[in-house]
Amino acid sequence: MQEYRSIQELMGKEGRIRQSYYDAFTAILPEDFAYKGRSKQPPNDPLNALISFGNSMMYRGVLSEIYRTQLDPTISYLHEPSTKRFSLSLDLAEIFKPLIVDPLIFSLVNRKALTLKHFDMLEEKMCYLNEEG
């Protein structure tokens, strides 16, 4: 087992593992939703739009549950603490995203509940779920 001397080292390792994880999406999803790299702000393809939307919903859900406790949502262990964002929800959501968000994406896309018609491209670089999606 490798030891890490800083949070940045640990987060770097987590980022490399997440990249391998996202690369595996190509084997699970149809070609229309092939993983071509992660883009966030803004997402540039339907898969990234789904990941971003799902992750934001997970963050909100986790933050809602944090508010039901005595925990301070701005204090975290992995993400940089900040009074401008709720980094504890980012920390906790990391546990649940692969268990809830990603399987939901796989299910919706593979069952064709969501197809390319459910997305709009803006200025050929921004992809978002449309109203029907």
What's the one-letter identity of residue 112? Answer: K
Task: Give the residue carrying structure tokens 């071509």.
Answer: 36
pLDDT in tens, 68-119: 999 877 776 666 655 566 778 888 888 899 999 999 999 999 999 999 999 9
Q: What is the pLDDT of residue 65?
A: 93
What's the one-letter identity of residue 96? Answer: F
Q: Quick check: 11 pLDDT over 90?
A: no
Q: Where are the alpha helices (DSSP H) in 24-112?
A: 25-28, 46-66, 87-96, 102-110
Domain range summary for the chain, segments of one domain joined by +: 7-129
pLDDT in tens, 27-62: 999 999 988 888 888 999 999 999 999 999 999 999
Q: Please compute the mean of the pLDDT values over residues 117-129 and round it to a whole number.
A: 89
- CATH number for the region 7-129 comes to 1.20.120.920
110 Cβ contact partners less than 8 Å away, ≥ 6 residues apart: 28, 29, 30
Q: Please compute the mean of the pLDDT values over residues 10-26 and round it to a whole number.
A: 86
Q: What is the pLDDT of residue 85?
A: 66
Element (H, E) at 34: none
